[in-house]
C-alpha cells in the first residue's frame, strides 16, 4: 500500500511535468496558439504533486501510511539528502513557469523553466544514484530521455484532442492533416533520442555483463513490457504517418478520421502505461 502510494505519486508527477514541457514545445514547433491557463494549472499541480511525492517517499522509507505523514522523515529528506536541492530547483522552475504563463503569450517563455522542472526527475531515479563522471553521463542521457518523452506526450495530447474534436469538413481536416505531417520530423528526432538515451540508461543501470540477468528479475519483465509498448507506439506512429495522414489529405475524411482516432487513443494509452511502468521501475532494485 505504501509502495503503491509512492508509485502513484511518481506517475502523476511524471505526467504533469511531461505535459508542462511537452504542450508548449508542440504548440511552439507547430506554430499553434498556446493556452496560458493550462500551463499555469500544470505548474501549480506540479508543485503540489512534488510535495505529495516527498511525503510518499518519507512514508515508503518508514513504512507508515501516507494518510499519516511522517513530517520528521520528510524534513530529513529535505535538509539532509539531495532531494532538498532537487526540489528547490524544481520549485523555482515551476514558479518561473507560472509567472511566465501570466504574461501575454507567456506560454512560450514557460517552455524553458518547464524543461528544467522536467529534467529534475533524472535526479530522483536510478540516474541520481550514479556517481562521478559516469553519473553525469547517466543523468545527461536520462534528461534527454525525459525531454524526448515529454515532447511525445505533449504532441499526443494535442493531436488526440484535435482528432476527437475535429469536424469532417475540408478546412478542419486539412489542418489536422498538416499538423500530423509536420510532426513527422519532430517525431523522428524524438524516437531517435529515446532509443539512444534508453540504451545508455539500460547499460548504466545494469552494466553490459548484467543485462542477461534482467530476464529473471521483476525489473527486467517490467522493462520488457515497456519496450513492447514502445514498439506498439512506433508501429502506430508509422501507420499514422505513412498511411492515415496521406489518406486524410487525399479524401475519405470520415473513414480515415475514425481509424486515426482509434490509433491515437491506443497510442496515448500506451504512452500512459509506459509512464506508469517507469514510475514503478524507479522504485525497484534492477537486480531483483
Q: What tens digit of pLDDT does each residue of 44-91 get? A: 999 999 999 999 999 888 888 887 878 889 899 999 888 999 999 999
pTM for this model (two decimals): 0.91
pLDDT of 169 strictly over 70: no
Give the tens place of pLDDT for each residue, 189-205. 999 999 999 888 888 87
Give the three cell numbers for residue 22.
511537452
Average pLDDT over residues 139-147: 93
Q: How far apart are CA 5 and CA 267, in angstroms?
A: 26
The pLDDT value recorded for residue 248 is: 79
- Per-residue pLDDT at 257: 85
d(CA 111, CA 2): 34
Task: Collect all residues with Cβ–Cβ distance below 8 Å to 139 and sequence separation of at least 6.
Answer: 122, 123, 127, 128, 130
List the single range of 29-43, 226-240, 250-264 with lowest mean pLDDT: 250-264
Question: What are the domain boundaries of the chain?
Answer: 1-124, 130-288
- In Å, what is the CA distance from 188 to each residue of 20, 152, 173, 224, 234? 21, 10, 23, 22, 10
Amino acid at each position: 500500500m505504501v509502495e503503491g502510494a509512492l508509485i502513484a505519486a511518481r506517475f502523476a508527477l511524471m505526467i504533469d511535468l511531461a505535459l508542462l514541457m511537452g504542450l508548449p514545445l508542440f504548440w511552439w514547433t507547430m506554430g499553434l496558439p498556446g493556452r496560458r491557463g493550462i500551463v499555469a494549472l500544470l505548474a501549480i499541480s506540479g508543485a503540489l504533486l512534488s510535495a505529495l511525492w516527498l511525503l510518499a517517499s518519507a512514508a515508503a522509507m518508514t513504512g507508515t501510511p501516507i494518510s499519516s505523514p511522517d513530517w520528521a522523515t520528510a524534513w530529513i529528506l529535505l535538509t539532509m539528502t539531495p532531494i532538498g536541492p532537487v526540489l528547490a530547483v524544481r520549485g523555482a522552475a515551476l514558479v518561473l513557469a507560472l509567472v511566465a504563463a501570466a504574461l501575454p503569450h507567456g506560454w512560450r517563455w514557460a517552455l524553458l523553466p518547464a524543461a528544467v522542472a522536467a529534467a529534475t526527475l533524472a535526479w530522483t531515479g536510478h540516474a541520481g544514484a550514479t556517481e562521478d563522471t559516469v553519473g553525469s553521463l547517466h543523468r545527461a542521457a536520462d534528461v534527454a530521455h525525459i525531454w524526448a518523452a515529454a515532447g511525445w506526450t505533449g504532441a499526443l495530447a494535442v493531436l488526440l484532442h484535435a482528432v476527437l474534436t475535429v469536424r469532417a469538413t475540408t478546412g478542419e481536416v486539412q489542418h489536422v492533416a498538416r499538423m500530423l505531417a509536420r510532426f513527422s520530423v519532430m517525431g523522428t528526432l524524438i524516437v531517435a533520442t529515446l532509443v539512444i538515451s534508453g540504451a545508455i540508461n539500460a547499460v548504466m543501470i545494469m552494466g553490459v555483463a548484467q543485462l542477461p540477468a534482467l530476464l529473471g528479475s521483476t525489473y527486467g519483465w517490467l522493462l520488457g513490457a515497456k519496450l513492447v509498448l514502445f514498439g506498439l507506439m512506433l508501429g502506430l506512429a508509422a501507420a499514422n504517418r505513412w498511411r492515415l495522414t496521406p489518406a486524410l489529405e487525399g479524401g475519405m475524411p470520415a473513414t480515415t478520421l475514425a481509424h486515426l482516432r482509434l490509433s491515437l487513443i491506443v497510442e496515448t494509452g500506451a504512452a500512459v502505461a509506459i509512464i506508469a511502468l517507469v514510475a514503478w521501475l524507479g522504485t525497484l532494485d534492477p537486480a531483483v
